Amino acid sequence: MTITEEPPRTKPQQLSHARDISRPGFYVKLVLMALVNAFGIYGILASWASKDFYILAFLAVTLAIADYVYFSKRAIPAKYLMPGLVFLAVYQIYVMGNTAYVAFTNYGDGHNDAKQPAITQILKTSDRRVEGTNTFPVSILEKGDVLSFAIVQDGTARVGDQENPLKNAPDAVIDGERVTEVPGYDLLKLADIQSRQKDVLALRVSLSDNPDDGWLRTDNGTLSYVAKSALVYNEAADTFTSPEGKVYTADAKQGLFVAADGTSLTPGWRVLVGVDNFTRMFTDSRLSGPFFKILVWTFVFAIASVLTTFALGLGLATIFNDARVKGRVVYRALFILPYAFPGFLAALVWKGMLNQQFGIINQSLLGGASINWLGDGTLAKLSILGVNLWLGFPYMFLVCTGALQSIPGELNEAAIMDGAGPFKRFRSVTLPLLLVSVAPLLIASFAFNFNNFSLIYMLTGGGPNFPGSPVLVGETDILISMVYSVAFESGVKQYGLASAMSIIIFVVVGFISWLGFRQTRKLEEVM
């Protein structure tokens, strides 16, 4: 590895020109750093406002380091490393760390937030109108995607949304009892309200910071009334009590308020659940069945893809590594066409071609057959391997052609002198030499196919689906598309479980890469 070679040490570093104001570069830097600082300080203020203190701390520290690095006369290497490292830290190292953390939580639908917002949410979803209170004509406003209520109370306009309680809006225009315009907001018309009915009906705007004061809600988009929760939250005991007297106690292990009879209130909150997500994969029989099938298919798919593409690529490379064949340049240029075509488009085109009713393969090539290429488990798997062969063999062909041409001809001639036939020559001379240079690529290709999400997702979407599985997965899903389905497409989003599955992929990929490193060295020793 190149790391170990140590170039000659240079003499003590000269100091940098970091504060040399006579150079124009300094002013370019000044402008750039001003932008960085503006960005950082904006972020610090915004994260203060939204109470994201980890982000605030990260921004403050990073900004301080950046200012030091770029205005110090020392730390020259850091000047070059910093931009890349910041991106790496946020979008690769942090997200990987967070995957590991989320894998041990119950994060997902129903457990989306911390405990306090969950309590507020429970209160708001179980509300009823407070008897004897007034109704307010309400105007529904929109800013970005966020809906707000605007009402007239004691002659002043007040505006608030789901997150922010009602506040006076002195610059709003009032007509009688109704607010007709608030600067910076769009007023929703009746038709808009109808199209966003669900959001409007779900909106609760607190009257003040104290949840006991209740909140405004509307049943029709024109009149609003004050509502309060039917459930009573007791902060000291950390329990909810329903009007019927049923008591729900906070269970910190599950992140739920649970009653003695086992019923619980939604939503819950996020808690660490230990290795639950991992054990579920193996012990929850409804989940573990599909999981094991998918695990096996992932390996079968990756190994078979590498072997088929390599076999075809090597075969063709061997056949066309023959000076007597005219027009080899043309053949080569045409053979790599599938490789030049973007992979995601190829998967989609094949999906159309393999369509059972209208696809060209059934319709024209097979004379009106009705073969369910993508809808039948076994056929879908074969189709995927076939399409991946089309996509992948040109790469193997290119690589093998290069490797074959670098094998000295004398070796083969020597083997001929020793009386070896063509097959024996291929097995004992060509193949071992070829593998030395190609083995790392085969391992990389395995790792790539192990996570070949777009092919699977675009061609079959993982289908045909397993019936009765609690997550939406099917026979051709591989691990990474299963993770996607668990996280985003199975109705209930389960980020915790999905992250736990990602960890398994990480382990496999890490192991393969490590194997790759070892393998390369081993084969070199054989040389």
Partner 1 sequence: MARPVKTETRLKGARWWKEVGWKHIVGIIVIAFCAFPLLYVLSASLSPGGTLTGSAKLFSEVSTKNYVDLMGTNFPTWMLHSLVVSTATALGTVLMASCAAYAFSRFRFAGRQGGLSALLIIQMFPQMLAFVAIFLLLLTLRDIFPFLGLGELMGLIAVYLGGALGANTFLIYGFFNTIPRELDEAAKIDGATHAQIFWGVIMRLVTPILAVVGLLSFVGSYGEFILAKIVLARPENYTLAVGLYVWASDERNAPWSLFAAGAVLAAIPIIILFMYLQKYIVGGLTAGGVKG
Q: Which is nearer to partner 1, 234 or 513 (CB)?
A: 513
Question: DSSP label at 254?
Answer: T
Strand partners, 240: 233, 248
Long-range contacts of 284-289 (CB under 8 A, 24+ apart): 284/470, 286/468, 286/469, 286/470, 287/469, 287/470, 287/471, 289/466, 289/469
Q: Shortest Cβ distance from residue 116 to partner 1 (Å)?
A: 16
User: Which DSSP helix (H) or strand (E) runs through 264?
Assistant: strand 264-265
Q: Which is nearer to partner 1, 71 or 506 (CB)?
A: 506
- CA–CA gap between residue 506 and residue 509 (Å, rounded): 5
- Residues 186, 197: contact at Cβ < 8 Å? no
Q: Shortest Cβ distance from residue 230 to partner 1 (Å)?
A: 31
Q: Which is nearer to partner 1, 150 or 391 (CB)?
A: 391
Supply φ then ψ for residue 50, to 5 degrees: -95, 10
Q: Shortest Cβ distance from residue 163 to partner 1 (Å)?
A: 10
Q: Shortest Cβ distance from residue 247 to partner 1 (Å)?
A: 34
Q: Which is nearer to partner 1, 231 or 399 (CB)?
A: 399
Q: Shortest Cβ distance from residue 179 to partner 1 (Å)?
A: 26
Q: Shortest Cβ distance from residue 42 to partner 1 (Å)?
A: 8
Q: Shortest Cβ distance from residue 257 to partner 1 (Å)?
A: 24
Q: Which is nearer to partner 1, 182 or 480 (CB)?
A: 480
Long-range contacts of 162-167 (CB under 8 A, 24+ apart): 162/203, 162/204, 162/205, 165/205, 165/206, 165/207, 165/208, 165/209, 166/205, 166/206, 166/207, 166/208, 166/216
- CA–CA gap between residue 485 and residue 407 (Å, rounded): 46
Q: Shortest Cβ distance from residue 213 to partner 1 (Å)?
A: 26
What would the DSSP string read from start to end of 146-182? EEEEEEEETTEEEEEESSS--EE-TT-EEETTEEEE-
Q: Which is nearer to partner 1, 223 or 337 (CB)?
A: 337
Q: Which is nearer to partner 1, 240 or 373 (CB)?
A: 373
- Residues 294, 302: contact at Cβ < 8 Å? no
Structure tokens at 167: 């506040």
Structure tokens at 200: 């409007």
Q: Which is nearer to partner 1, 75 or 420 (CB)?
A: 75
Structure tokens at 326: 């005219």
Q: Which is nearer to partner 1, 103 or 250 (CB)?
A: 103
Helix, strand, coil percent content, the chain, rounded in steps of 5: 55, 15, 30
Burial of 310: CB neighbours in 10 Å, binned 0-12, 13-18, 19+ = buried
Q: Which is nearer to partner 1, 17 or 424 (CB)?
A: 17
- CA–CA gap between residue 281 and residue 499 (Å, rounded): 12
- CA–CA gap between residue 94 and residue 280 (Å, rounded): 26
- Residues 453, 480: contact at Cβ < 8 Å? yes
Q: Which is nearer to partner 1, 193 or 317 (CB)?
A: 317
What are the helix (H) ranges across 230-327?
A: 276-283, 285-320
By C-alpha distance, which of 269, 229, 223, 278 is closest to 250? Answer: 269
- Residues 74, 14: contact at Cβ < 8 Å? no
Q: Which is nearer to partner 1, 20 or 413 (CB)?
A: 20
Q: Shortest Cβ distance from residue 197 to partner 1 (Å)?
A: 21
Q: Which is nearer to partner 1, 68 or 220 (CB)?
A: 68
Q: Shortest Cβ distance from residue 400 to partner 1 (Å)?
A: 10
Q: Shortest Cβ distance from residue 259 to partner 1 (Å)?
A: 31
By C-alpha distance, which of 248, 372, 396 is closest to 314? Answer: 396
Q: Shortest Cβ distance from residue 324 to partner 1 (Å)?
A: 5
Q: Shortest Cβ distance from residue 322 to partner 1 (Å)?
A: 7
What are the helix (H) ranges across 336-421?
A: 337-340, 343-353, 360, 377-405, 409-417
- CA–CA gap between residue 42 and residue 204 (Å, rounded): 30
